[in-house]
Amino acid sequence: MSNDAGHKVAIKIMDKEYLIGCPEGSEAELFVSADYLDKKMREIRDAGKVLGLERVAVMTALNLSHELLQNKAQQQENLEERIMKLSKKIDSSLIKPKGTP
């Protein structure tokens, strides 16, 4: 989501309504994000280990941050692996004598 407020859109998270600034045309993304956040917060609340909306929100934020950082690390690892494979391909094609397929 961008900082460009656009207009206010009502979303509902844990049965509370919030008015959120949203750029024109990004409403669908906001609703999907709000639904995902609501689902994750309800999972934590329903597990019964965390009480209070604020604590549920903080635990959800920590969990989502952890997932995001894990995904970024995995993407970095995948990218480095692809670069190594491409580098090996390039090296092997440069080593081949001229005239060989």
Backbone angles phi, psi at 22, to 5 degrees: -145, 130
55: tokens are 């604590």
pLDDT of residue 51: 86
pLDDT for the residue 93? 86
User: For residue 28, what pLDDT is reported?
Assistant: 96
Residue 8's DSSP bridge partners are: 21
CB proximity list for 56: less than 8 A, separation 6 or greater: 14, 41, 44, 45, 50
| Cβ 60 vs Cβ 44: under 8 Å | yes
- CATH class of segment(s) 7-95: alpha beta
* The predicted structure's pLDDT at residue 2: 45
**How high is the pLDDT of residue 98?**
64
Q: What is the pLDDT along the chain (101 residues), one digit of tens a residue?
A: 445 557 999 999 999 999 999 999 999 999 999 999 999 999 999 998 888 999 999 999 999 999 999 999 999 999 999 999 999 999 888 886 666 55
Residues 6 or more apart whose CB falls under 8 angstroms from that of 18 comprise 10, 11, 12
